[in-house]
Structure 1
C-alpha cells in the first residue's frame, strides 16, 4: 500500500504557533479514514492520498497565511506488500 508523508508549513502568519492548523489537517485525514502516524505519514489508496494532500493544502490556505509550503513524499513499492506497521516493526526489531 502506498505511503505518503506530508509537511505543510505556513509562512507569514501573525503567530509562530500553528498547532490549531495541525489539528485541522488531522481532521481532514480522519474524515478520509486514512491511517496516519504523528509525523503525518499516511497510508492508503494512492488516489485517496493525493486527494487528502490537496485538501490539507487547501485547508491550510483557508486560515489566511500569506504563503504555504507543502512537501510531499510518496513511497509506493510494487515488488511486495508494504505498510506502515511493517516498516515501524522492522526498524524497532533492528534497534533491539
Structure 2
C-alpha cells in the first residue's frame, strides 16, 4: 500500500511552533479514516494513491487557509508494486533485523 510522508512549514509567522498545523493535518487524516503515524518531523499516511493525493491537498489547503501567508509543503510517496507491504511490515522488518 502506498505511503505518503508529509510535512508543513509555515513561513513568516510570529511563532517558531507549528503544532497547530500538525494537529489540523492529523484531523484531516483521521476524518478520512486512514492509517497514519506522527513523527517529530512529519506525518506518514498509508492509503491508496488517490486518497493520498487528496489528503495531501486537503492538508495543504487547511494550512494555508489557517493564517500564514506562505506554506511550504513537502511530500514524498513510497509506492511499491512488486509485493504487498504496509507501514507496520516495513517497521517490523527493521525491528526484527535488530534483534
Which blocks of at least 5 consecutive residues in structure 2 are unaligned? none
Runs of 4+ in 1 over 3 A off after TM superposition: none
**1:1-96 residue pairs with structure 2 within 5 A?**
1-39=1-39, 40-96=43-99
Aligned length: 96
Deviates more, 1:59-68 or 1:81-90: 59-68
Which blocks of at least 5 consecutive residues in structure 1 are unaligned? none
Report the TM-score, using the length of structure 2 for normalisation: 0.93
Cα-to-partner distance string for 1:66-91 (whole Å, 9 max, x where unaligned) = 21111111111111001000001011
Report the TM-score, using the length of structure 1 for normalisation: 0.95
